[in-house]
Amino acid sequence: MPSGEARTGPLVETLLEAGKNLYVPKIASAKDGRMDFLRVYDRADLEDLPSGTWGIREPGEMCGAQKRGSVSGTKEELDVILVPGR
């Protein structure tokens, strides 16, 4: 993990255990830095995420046989958004 980054593991676990909808960043294009936020469905899904850009686990477009939900495709209100920064 890059220095200065918040450790979100405990928060992520709590959100999943509480049945909240969790979306995590996915670098869509490392070339231009485009990012999307894709849904993580449960703890098993989270643990299966492969490492992506910067060695951080990122979801693929698919979760099993279904297309993974995207925050840009949801009409649900978002309760919390965490963004990196200082």
**Number of structural domains in the chain:** 1
Range(s) of the domain holding residue 54: 21-70
**What is the C-alpha to C-alpha distance for residues 86 and 81, in angstroms, rounded to an integer?**
15
**What is the C-alpha to C-alpha distance for residues 39 and 42, in angstroms, rounded to an integer?**
9
27 touches 34 (CB < 8 A): yes
- Which pLDDT band, with edges at 50, 70 and 90, does 3 fall under? low
81 class by beta-carbon count within 10 Å (0-12 exposed, 13-18 middle, 19+ buried): exposed
3 located within any domain = no
Q: What is the pLDDT of residue 86?
A: 58
pLDDT at 84 over 80: no
Convert the pLDDT of each residue in 9-28 to its tens digit: 899 999 999 999 999 888 87
Convert the pLDDT of each residue in 25-80 to its tens digit: 888 776 777 888 999 999 999 999 998 777 888 899 999 899 999 998 888 888 77
